[in-house]
Structures are given as structure tokens and as C-alpha cells.
Amino acid sequence: MKEFKVGIIGFGTVGAGVASCLLKNADVIAKRTGITPVLAGIADLDIETDRGVVVPKELLTTDASAMIRNVDVVVELIGGTTIAKKFILEALNAGKSVVTANKALLAEHGEELFAAAEKNNADLYYEASVGGGIPIIKGLREGFSGNRISRMYGILNGTCNYILTRMEKEEIDFAPVLKDAQQLGYAEANPSLDIDGFDTAHKASILASLAYGKWLGMDPVYVQGIRDITLADIKNADELGYKIKLLAIIKQSEQGEVEVRVHPAMIPKTTQLAAISGVFNGVMVTGDYVGDTLFYGRGAGREATASAVVGDIVDIGRNIVNKAARRIPGFMEGIQYSRIKPMDEVDSRYYLRVQVLDVPGVLEKVAGILSKNGISISSMLQREGQKHSNVTMLIITHCTKEKAIRSAIAEINGLPDVRNSVNLIRIEDI
């Protein structure tokens, strides 16, 4: 049986899951593939804490650099964009192939890392960086290689999906659900990376880069989180036939323009994507030949993420033991788009919730501002209230430019009869 040595940097939740899988399922991998991954080292600053997996003590070390020198494949699972980058470059420059789940590092420094991999004839695999155990990277890189990708929609953050699902099903507002999510371990003590959309944005950048042939980085990605979503918005969306999801939206127009954005969106309740609830993730990919496809599964967690990491380890192992040419799984430098479309130029329909004083003429003023900005109203509803009290006005627009809606909202917020800032949610008619 052909063997190759694997070293893990980072013995946290996912690192422990990868170690457990390699130790438990090495025989399954060997029978399926004819190769055996041998766990040869685990490096971490803390090698004393019990991780719930029995590992021979001689495999544990605090010297990551020494371990890198003695293995064939390095698995980086410490996260962040500083020390992790140092160790990945150290491994690649030594000609060692790398597996990582580090979406932030890839989104921000992917171009540099893949250049190092190519220069040193090393593999760099990253399936677990997007969607946990969902094989979306392999799908895009291999299964859809003969397709032009026109759009991708992704529910890519389990924390946000859990919060929005509970708000909807239990009619609880945002703050108490977030607190519960933190107590249950679904959200961090500082939840900003998740609820403000940045985790999803890192993943969106990776997917867009893979689909369109060049690392985009984070600058072109529009990011908005779910902090401003209220229970009232959830209920209104339900009445209108929609659900609210934090969505990664990646589209390419017929002219080749690409837009990459992350924000809450209303999507029709009848779509399969809308049915994805709780901590689960889903990605819808549309290709010109394959049509619509949907990937669904656990987007995080020890076992799901470990499954994706071990899949990458096995792919690289096949190359190593068979002395095959490296298959650097990025893309050849071939840009497949004309330009990145700025957010101001994005076309969308919009839901607007406006709190106004119930006095004559206020509806006419709001409608007039929208009309002046070239925005056509699809439907408008004013909730009944007491005279001279605050009432809610709900407006659904036809498709219009982001720049126009922003200009209109700024004017509406300046009206003396408007009591709170206009709440905006984009509508995606998937």
C-alpha cells in the first residue's frame, strides 16, 4: 500500500476532527483509493488540552516548522491571515503541498499563495473554505468546467441562517436570538464576522474568483449584514410570499460584467433555496449547459469540515504517491469577465419599510420622490393607524438601479413626517 505523511497545524475543533478521521478511516481510504494517509504530526501551541480524540503523544509538537519539514502534506487549520499565511508559504516554498480551510486568507491573499504554489510545483487545496462539507469547490473546478457560470446564490453562514430561521419560526426579534446563538455556540462572543456579512463575503470572493478566472480580493464585494432585520420585516416578507436570507449573490451579465454582493435578500418561499433553514448551508449554481444545480449540507462543524479537508488530502496524496504532475486547483490566468460592476449600477427590486406620521399628503410625497428618481412602484400598502400617529408604509418597487434607490431614500429620510430611517431589503426573484 502506498503511503504519504500528513501534518496538521492547529489542533482546535476542526484539527481534532481531521485527526480523528485520518486515524479512524485510513483503512476505508486505502480500500477506495489504493493510498494511505498517515498522520505524522500535529503542531499547536497547546498540546496538553484534551480534544476528545486519542492521538499518540509522539505526534504532538509545538514546533510547526520542524513538522513541515518531515511530512508530505501540510494541513493549515489555525485560521487568521498572519501566522497561517507564514506557515502556508513556508510549506509551499519547501515544495510541500497544503490543504487549508482558511477562507479569509484565501480571499485576501489567494493570488500570492497560488503564485507560490505554482512556483514551487506544489498543490494548494481549499474545499473546506466554502460551505464546510459541501463539495462546491470541486463542483466548480471540475464538474462545471465546461460551463459558463451565469449566477450563483449562496446561503453560506450557518449563524445568520440559524438566527433568521428562529426569528421567522418563533417570532422572536434579533437580539434575543443572537444571545441564544452565542450560548449554544453557534455564534462567537464577538459575532461581527458572521452577522455583519464578512464571513459570507470571504466565501463569495472565492467562488467568484474560481468561476471567473482571477482572484478578485475583497474590494469589489459589497457587504451588508443582518443587524437591521427586524421581526416586522420577517412577518412582512412572509405575507408577501418571501423569506429573508443573508445571501451571497454572484452574477455575470450577457455583456460579461460581474457583480459580487452579500446582503439580506427576500427570496420567493417556493424556491428550494428558501427551504434551507437552521445552521445548514446551500449554494445554487447556474451554468449554460448544466442549468440550475443546488448543493446542500452542513456548512460548518467538526465532522463536516473535516470531511472536506480529508477529501483534499486524499486528492493530493494520489498525486504524490503516483508521482503525478501537480494539479494546482486554482485556474489558469484567464479572466472570463469584462469588468466588475459597481454596486451603484446593480439592478434590483426593493422592499422599503417607512415609518411616517399619519397625516394627509405624506404618501403622495414619498411616491413623488420615488417617481422623481425614476423608480416605479409595484405595490404600496399603508397599515391602518390612528390619525396623527405613526404608521408603517410598505413599498415594493419594480427593478431599478441601486444608485437611484439610495438617492430616493436620502430624500425620503429628510421629510419632516418620516419618523425613522427607511429600511431597505433587496428582492431576488430566483
Supply the mean pLDDT for the chain. 94
Q: What is the pLDDT of residues 84-127, one digit of tens each?
A: 999 999 999 999 999 999 999 999 999 999 999 989 999 999 99
Domains of the chain: 2-130+302-321 (3.40.50.720), 136-298 (3.30.360.10), 344-427 (3.30.70.260)
157 closest CA partner among 283, 315, 13, 341: 283
Render pLDDT for 37-86 as a digit per residue (tens, 0 to 9): 999 999 999 999 999 999 999 999 999 999 999 999 999 999 999 999 99
Model pLDDT, residue 188? 86
* pLDDT-based confidence at residue 185 (cuts at 50, 70, 90): confident
Whether residue 400 is predicted with pLDDT greater than 90 in this model: the reply is: yes
The reported pLDDT for the residue numbered 360 is 87
Q: Is 356 left (phi over 0), alpha (psi -120 to 50) or beta?
A: beta
Torsion of CA 248, 100, 91, 43, to 10 degrees: 140
* CA–CA gap between residue 203 and residue 248 (Å, rounded): 8
pTM of the predicted protein model: 0.95
**Tell me: the pLDDT tens digits for 118-176?**
899 999 999 999 999 999 999 998 899 899 999 999 999 999 999 999 999 999 999 99
pLDDT band of 328, cuts 50, 70, 90 = low
Q: Confidence band (pLDDT; 50, 70, 90) for 329?
A: low
Q: What SS3 state is found at 179?
A: helix
Residue 322 has pLDDT above 60, yes or no: yes
Catalytic machinery residues: 203
Taking residue 118's Cβ as centre, other Cβ atoms within 10 Å add up to 16
Question: CA torsion sign, 258 to 262 to 265 to 268?
Answer: positive
Cα dist. 429→88, 287, 349, 357 in Å? Answer: 41, 18, 9, 32
- Give 383's pLDDT tier (boundaries 50, 70, 90): confident
In 133-239 the beta strands, taken as DSSP E runs, fall at 149-155, 222-223
pLDDT at 282 over 60: yes
Look at residue 340 and tell me whether its pLDDT is greater than 70: yes
User: What pLDDT digit, counting tens, does each position of 202-221 carry?
Assistant: 999 999 999 998 889 999 99
What pLDDT is stored for residue 64 in this prediction? 98
